[in-house]
Amino acid sequence: MADSPRQFDFLVLGSGIAGLTFALKVAHAGSVAIITKKSRAESNTNYAQGGIAAVTSEEDSFESHVRDTLTAGGGLCNEEVVRGIVEEGPARIEELIQLGMKFSERESHGHRELDLGREGGHSKRRILHAKDVTGREIERALLAAVGAHENITMLENHLAIDLITTAKLGQAQPNRCAGVYVLNNQTGQVETFSAPRITLATGGCGKVYLYTSNPDIATGDGVAMAYRAGATIANMEFIQFHPTCLYHPEAKSFLISEAVRGEGGELTNLRGERFMEGVHPLKSLAPRDVVARAIDREMKRSGDDHALLDITHKPARFLMDRFPNIYRTCLGYGIDITKEPIPVVPAAHYQCGGVRVGRHGETDLAGLYAIGEVACTGLHGANRLASNSLLEALVYAHRAAGHMLAHRPEPATAGLPKWQSGSATDPDEMVVVSHNWEELRRLMWDYVGVVRTDKRLKRAQTRVRNLQEEIQAYYWDFTVTSDLLELRNLATVAKLIVRSALERRESRGLHYTLDHPDPVDALAQKDTLLRRE
């Protein structure tokens, strides 16, 4: 089985909202394999607390949602893309509801209506949510539908290693994507998959930073593979730091949703001073880049190792009902959010750049599409507006499916070679991998974090280059493992983030550097594009 390529009409890498939605939309037209590196529900989507931003209320308007998105994006959004996604939003939401998604509702004048939350940068209440476990509920609904479809094969514990391109095979140009090498973690074998259309839906790269709200799977696999295969990568300097992750020695990656500030939560320092006053008219509910930088500044100024988020003025019953997951999780760490402020710190949260795509999620490598967080569509610009990403994932899954169904695929490329492990032996010292994981994540946090300088970025560049050399040598010498493959991807993504940050010689949105503190007119609307030589 491991010797001959497994053939499908559609290959999807990733099982979050984008990958699952896409799979459901193409499955009637052919066989679909969803390749996912852990269990099927283990995706960034699953951990989304806030919700999906969409215009569903009569008090809201497309114009207002577009304006808020453009404002957050710091002059770098593609307005046409923004408008398209915002206007298509309600139809995609309706499909999700038809599929079984249950959003929170409330009683209003004797009838039930969607309960709309508010988050930073939004001038209206427009966040559809399922209490504070929106992502979990989305995954539940989508996985139930996927599980019931006979054309969809779900391959869990399968980690994609690299895309197979015709250029790599030495075949005639133009280059196109023909398949994927995949490590089957159940057997330890590398399998070859062939498909004329491959969709990256692999999520983001939060694990490249020491502190992140993301789960362990977020290792930038899609961006790294696409870059190695020759696709264009855009705007990787724009990494969004969420202002409020739980600060507790035992808590790993637990987010305190922005919706808590949307319901009136106030940020203070450890002396109870509201340091957001005077920073931004929206105070604690300012856009994320502003809030994350203000917390960072306040912590550096005071020497405190965290800030506080206080929502104790709200009735305990309301908090337990609106934020059951946050309430229970914090209580598990000994923090009763109804009675005391929550200790918080900023942490890496969202990758606003990614594999550059056109209107239908198509990359510039034929046969390869990218949707969801892995893609850079032009929606987020220099800073993502809260809860816009799940909407973008729905819209682009729909468009990519439509595009593929409307175009006859190239025939599958014949003769994909099987994986060559050469003279690789079993790894001798896994300490090399664990040490490099830690070093990479710490240096990215220290030198390429919320506030940057040229000197720190150059330092990071040298360190990342050294790590990459060591990882590459290890990669050639030893049989591949998940940890090694993820580390290799993280190092590639780290290189792309640092290079992009060095190229943007201004401060804009999420990229803030003390050496170039102001935005530069000539760089407005200019994406940072990287492509492997």
Q: Quick one: which segment of 257-265, 314-322, 425-433, 459-467 binds ligand SIN (CB under 6 A)?
A: 257-265
Give the integer Cα–Cα distance in Å for 234 and 214.
21
Q: Which x/- pattern over 205-244 shows residues binding ligand SIN (rule: CB under 6 A)?
A: ----------------------------------------
Whether 406 contacts 104, CB under 8 Å: no
Among 258, 266, 298, 362, binds ligand SIN (CB under 6 A): 258
Both tokens of residue 451? 């506030």
Helix (H, G, I), strand (E, B) or coil at 120: coil
Q: Quick one: which segment of 263-271, 352-360, 384-392, 456-464 binds ligand SIN (CB under 6 A)?
A: 384-392
Residue 104 in contact with ligand SIN, rule: CB under 6 A: no
How far are the Cα atoms of 71, 520, 525 from residue 517, in angstroms, in the given order? 18, 9, 18
Of the candidates 288, 322, 441, 456, the residue annotated as catalytic is 288
Give the integer Cα–Cα distance in Å for 490 and 160.
14
Closer Cβ to ligand SIN, 344 or 433, answer by number = 344
Residue nearest to ligand SIN (CB): 50
Q: Quick one: which segment of 231-239, 254-262, 367-375, 504-512 binds ligand SIN (CB under 6 A)?
A: 254-262
Residue 259 in contact with ligand SIN, rule: CB under 6 A: yes
Give the integer Cα–Cα distance in Å for 504 and 351.
16
Residue 387 in contact with ligand SIN, rule: CB under 6 A: yes
Whether 284 contacts 261, CB under 8 Å: yes
Which residue type, as a one-letter code, is found at position 200? L
Helix (H, G, I), strand (E, B) or coil at 175: coil
Residue 199 in contact with ligand SIN, rule: CB under 6 A: no
Whether 385 contacts 391, CB under 8 Å: no
Extract the runs of DSSP E, i.e. beta strands, from 167-314. 177-184, 190-194, 197-200, 233-234, 239-246, 266-268, 307-310
Q: What is the DSSP letter of 174?
A: S
Task: State the number of binding residues for ligand SIN (CB under 6 A).
Answer: 10
Residue 504 a catalytic site member: no
Question: Which residues are CB-contacts of 121 (< 8 A; sequence separation ≥ 6)?
Answer: 68, 71, 72, 282, 285, 286, 287, 288, 385, 386
Among 27, 226, 348, 386, binds ligand SIN (CB under 6 A): 386
For the CB of residue 497, give the shortest distance to ligand SIN in the complex, in Å: 19
Question: Which residues make beta-bridge pairs with 6?
Answer: 193
Closer Cβ to ligand SIN, 152 or 291, answer by number = 291
Closer Cβ to ligand SIN, 46 or 389, answer by number = 389
Q: Quick one: which segment of 250-258, 269-277, 305-313, 419-427 binds ligand SIN (CB under 6 A)?
A: 250-258
Give the integer Cα–Cα distance in Å for 69 and 90.
16
How far are the Cα atoms of 56, 106, 367, 394, 511 from residue 110, in angstroms, in the given order? 19, 10, 52, 32, 47
Residue 253 in contact with ligand SIN, rule: CB under 6 A: no
Nearest CA among 239, 528, 507 for reference residue 356: 528
Q: Quick one: which segment of 140-148, 251-259, 305-313, 449-457 binds ligand SIN (CB under 6 A)?
A: 251-259
For the CB of residue 77, give the shortest distance to ligand SIN in the complex, in Å: 16
Closer Cβ to ligand SIN, 166 or 387, answer by number = 387
Output b/e per residue, 463-499; b: 16+ Cβ within 10 A.
bbeebbeebeebeeebebbeebbbbbbbbbbbbbbbb
Q: Which x/- pattern over 388-427 shows residues binding ligand SIN (rule: CB under 6 A)?
A: -x--------------------------------------
Residue 284 in contact with ligand SIN, rule: CB under 6 A: no
Give φ, ψ of 334 to 5 degrees.
85, 15
Q: Which residues, numbered 28-67, are part of the site for ligand SIN (CB under 6 A)?
A: 49-50
Both tokens of residue 426? 């079993």
Q: Quick one: which segment of 146-154, 255-263, 418-426, 444-452 binds ligand SIN (CB under 6 A)?
A: 255-263
Q: Which x/- pattern over 336-365 shows residues binding ligand SIN (rule: CB under 6 A)?
A: --------------x---------------
Question: Which residues are CB-contacts of 267 (< 8 A; sequence separation ≥ 6)?
Answer: 243, 244, 261, 274, 275, 276, 284, 291, 294, 295, 307, 308, 309, 310, 344
Closer Cβ to ligand SIN, 192 or 257, answer by number = 257
Residue 121 in contact with ligand SIN, rule: CB under 6 A: no
Closer Cβ to ligand SIN, 119 or 298, answer by number = 119
For the CB of residue 155, give the shortest distance to ligand SIN in the complex, in Å: 28
Point out the residues that are catalytic: 288
**Site residues for ligand SIN per CB under 6 A:** 49-50, 255, 257-259, 350, 386-387, 389
